[in-house]
Amino acid sequence: MNLRSLDLNLLVILDALLDEAHVSRAADRLGLSQPAASAALQRCRHLFRDELLERGRGTMRLTAKAESLRAPLKSLLAGVTDLVTPHEVPLAEIRQTLRIAMADYPALFVTGPLQRSLSDTAPGIDLVIQPWHGAEAAKAALVDGTTDIAISVFPGEEGDINREELFSEHYVVALRAGHPAILNFDLEGWLAWPHILVSGRGETRSPLDAELARLDRARRVGLVVPSFGMVPDLLRGSDMIAMLPSRVMAAAADLVTLPTPIPITGFPLHLAWHRRREKDRALRYVAALLRNLLS
């Protein structure tokens, strides 16, 4: 292939088309007309000898070839940006949107302080807190470029993902003040009351249940909710009990926290982004703010 005939702008448009899987949305994102974006898609189809976007049921979907292009295209464009950027733009002049994937824990206690810090120091950086679909989905989104930063548990080495541990979390038992189980709290008292379980997928069991089964014990899960933020009010108005990450309780000082009656393994929380973004000043700055907020 003759690289001199390749229009780099075409790859920028292709990147938007693959992100959006929608011609009109890609055109709006780039400030192009819909016909111009459609014409660019046709040129890309000719260039890669593939449909790239094909009709599905009422929508467009990426072909297998298009999916395989996403990560290398992101890396290529990031490299070109690093090559041609003449100097580091002052933080106050950056105009950029960053997408952050994290569950409501830790989003509950970092989103507000993060936004306030940015408004003071880098007001042109906008944030999108994305819906949480699990650690594997977050890692895949970092690779294909649909997520910029992820906060989650990422065990082991992650290849092209830059991962650093923020802290190691432990669990506590939470219940309302005056709860009958507080006096002489033990395993029996813990299991005598219905529990609240947090599960974004509506699951009724967790690793705790497997640990209890190993001890030939079981608990009653009386309520499953999708968000840690819902739990404090539910505890205040009932005799239910919850096992929560300790930092969730910082915003619920009126509740009682107790150590778990049996040893429960905690978890490390990691901050992650793709290595191709190492020179992205906005990303590095937001990552530093998150690191300070969570360390």
Task: Identify the helix (H) or strand (E) that includes residue 162.
Answer: strand 161-169
Domains observed in the chain: 3-67 (1.10.10.10), 91-168+268-294 (3.40.190.10), 171-265 (3.40.190.10)
Pick from 1, 75, 9: nearest CA to 44: 9
- Coil/strand/helix, residue 158: coil
Q: In this predicted model, what pLDDT tens digit does every residue of 5-59 receive, in sequence order?
A: 677 788 888 888 888 888 888 888 888 888 888 898 898 898 888 998 888 776 7
The whole-number average pLDDT for the span 246-268 is 93
- CA 14 distance to own-chain centroid: 24
Q: Looking at the DSSP assignment, which residues form a beta bridge with residue 171?
A: 245
Identity of the residue numbered 285: Y
The whole-number average pLDDT for the span 261-281 is 91
What is the predicted pLDDT for the residue at 236? 96
- Coil/strand/helix, residue 155: coil
What is the predicted pLDDT for the residue at 284? 93
Does the structure show a pLDDT above 80 at 120? yes
Residue 169 burial (10 A CB sphere; 0-12, 13-18, 19+): middle
What is the predicted pLDDT for the residue at 155? 78
Work out the number of other CB atoms within 10 angstroms of the CB of residue 51. Answer: 14
Instruction: Indicate yes or no: pTM above 0.75.
Output: no
- Name, in order, each residue with C-beta under 8 angstroms of 170's C-beta and a sequence gap of 6 or more: 245, 246, 264, 266
Pick from 292, 13, 289, 14: nearest CA to 125: 289
